[in-house]
Structure 1
Amino acid sequence: MDPHTTASILPLLGWAVHGGILARRLACARRDPLTGLHTRAGWTDRADHLIRRHSNAAVLLVDLDHFKTLNDTHGHAAGDAALIATADRLRTWCGRSGTAGRLGGDEFVAVVRDLAAADLDALTAALHRPLHYDGMSLPLAASVGACRISELPMPVLPDALAAADAAMYAAKGRGRRGSRTTR
């Protein structure tokens, strides 16, 4: 190969490698490194798409109850295990009819095509199963708020998230573990 051809190919090869690295970083930024769920940015793109295509879609917010106590009592590794278990349970519940994400800390989010078909009681039961960790059975609990898109004046994600957030805090405020949907 002549030196001129080599000199012109090397910068292109460098840009191709650089582009691959950037694409990997972007993909990693859209996934939570601990749970493997979508981050807010990655989840929002998918949720917007699902909401536009399915009029029966619902948005859910999930907040682990007493997470700080679990983390402080049993250590950060137990807290991480609780977050991973919650993510796995939420991902399994969503299945192919939705997508889950982690907003940060102990807050999770999901969107499903049809809440009635998805069985919110099954999710609540799954999120309340104890976590078997390091020879112990640690109690897990979560408050879940849900908003059906069809019940909003404008079917947009920010409004659905706000309504699901209000429903989640209403579930927490009742003093018992469970879920609540907007009405």
Structure 2
Amino acid sequence: MSHTLAALSTAAPLAAGWTIHGLWQHRLIDRAERDELTGLPRRAAFEKNAARMLRRTGRDVVAVLVIDLDGFKQVNDIHGHAAGDTAIRETGRRLAQWAEPLGTAARLGGDEFAAIIRCPDPDTLRGELTHLHQWLCSPVTYDGLPLPLGTSIGAYPHTTGFGPAVELPEALRVADEAMYGVKQTGGGWAITHTPTPAYRTVNGRRDGRRGTDLDTAGGTT
């Protein structure tokens, strides 16, 4: 009995040490997978979670979103990079809060973000996109001044359990096309229901306005 108690008393601190070590490693990994400015997941972590959501079965609508700020370059040029960082940070905060109960979001780089959400039906998706667009276009204050920013959002929905599986790279490409198309018309959001052929414009971006079935709402900026 005494040998058993001695062994347990020796193992307890070791187990506690490994637990602390494991938590420390988990925090380091989580920190490395998150964008320093916004706290959102980076691309790799987002792609892993998003691919998992697309593979789930059910009858919900899973929508992949690409979000880009409008007027961000002007904010940097006129107000400075600190103001730009404030805009990115606040956009990330709003996007994370919006996406949290529905899915997940990420910062892809610069002023471009991505998200994936699960909705019960297309009408709910439209309502969520309208809410998100209005929120992201609401003023961000820096040094007492409102920063003039707009947002363009492209979404590609997939109803799980119907038709062939959708791969995340393709969904992101199509959502990006829809985002770029609505950006060229002044911002807002667009849902594209039909994938387009992979070709590029002279700007190096694919043109989501051609050959697609678009459900759109105009911007307010």
**What TM-score do the two structures reach when normalised by structure 1?**
0.83
The corresponding residue for 1:38 is: 41
Give how far 1:21 is off: 6.2
The corresponding residue for 1:101 is: 106
Of structures 1 and 2, the one with the larger relative CO (CA 8 A, separation 6+) is: 1
Gaps spanning 5+ residues in structure 1: where? 1-11
Give how far 1:24 is off: 3.9
Cα 1:127–1:152, aligned 2, differ >3 Å: closer, same or farther?
farther
Give the letter for the 2:114 counterpart: V
Q: Please say if 1:143 is aligned against 2:143.
A: no
Q: Please say if 1:56 is aligned against 2:56.
A: no
Identify which of 165, 179, 182 aligns with 2:176.
Answer: 165
Q: Within 5 Å, give how 1:72-91 maps onto structure 2.
A: 72-91=77-96
Gaps spanning 5+ residues in structure 2: where? 1-13, 194-221
Comparing 83-92 with 45-54, greater Cα deviation is found at: 45-54
- State how far apart, in whole Å, the 2-side matches of 1:103 and 1:152 are: 29
The answer on whether the counterparts of 1:32 and 1:38 sit within 8 Å (CA) in structure 2 is yes
Comparing 47-56 with 17-26, greater Cα deviation is found at: 17-26
Over aligned residues, Cα RMSD in angstroms? 2.4
The corresponding residue for 1:127 is: 136
Give how far 1:72 is off: 1.5
The corresponding residue for 2:188 is: 178
Q: Deviations over 1:69-101 (max 9, x none)?
A: 101211111101100111111112213111110
SS at match of 1:87: helix
Structure of higher CA gyration radius: 2
**What TM-score do the two structures reach when normalised by structure 2?**
0.69
Give the letter for the 2:115 counterpart: A
Give how far 1:23 is off: 4.3
Point out the structure with the larger helix share.
1
